[in-house]
Amino acid sequence: MHMTDFPFTATDWSIVERTEHPGETGTAFWRTKQFGTIRVRMVEYTPGYKADHWCSKGHILLCLGGELKTELQDGRIITLTPGMSYQLADDAEPHRSFAPLGATLFIVD
């Protein structure tokens, strides 16, 4: 990741527009800021959320609340609880997330 062409910026996430993204089940609500080629998001998954696709995009993801389960295409399931993160390169391992209890995440990709 090479970060260029944006100044020091503080973000009040409570005033960033919230967009709705339905999953296979449940809903994801994103608050998104773009800094050059870097997307930064606060994401809330409703209880029962399950992604409707396999993702190959790399992420740095921090679980702030709830519980996130991420299924890797090889069958492994990784569980994150508050204070845990995962880091994954682009095209490294297809994955999809689900949040039986709901989750709040901070994601950089």
Q: What is the pTM of this model?
A: 0.91
Q: What is the pLDDT of residue 3?
A: 76
* Torsion from C-alpha of 10, 105, 75, 88, nearest 10 degrees: 10
20-61 pLDDT, tens digit each: 999 999 999 999 999 988 999 999 999 999 999 999 999 999
Domain boundaries, the chain: 38-108
The topology under which CATH files domain 38-108 is Jelly Rolls (2.60.120)
The beta strand positions in 1-109, using DSSP E, are 18-22, 27-35, 38-45, 49-50, 59-66, 68-72, 77-80, 85-88, 95-99, 103-108
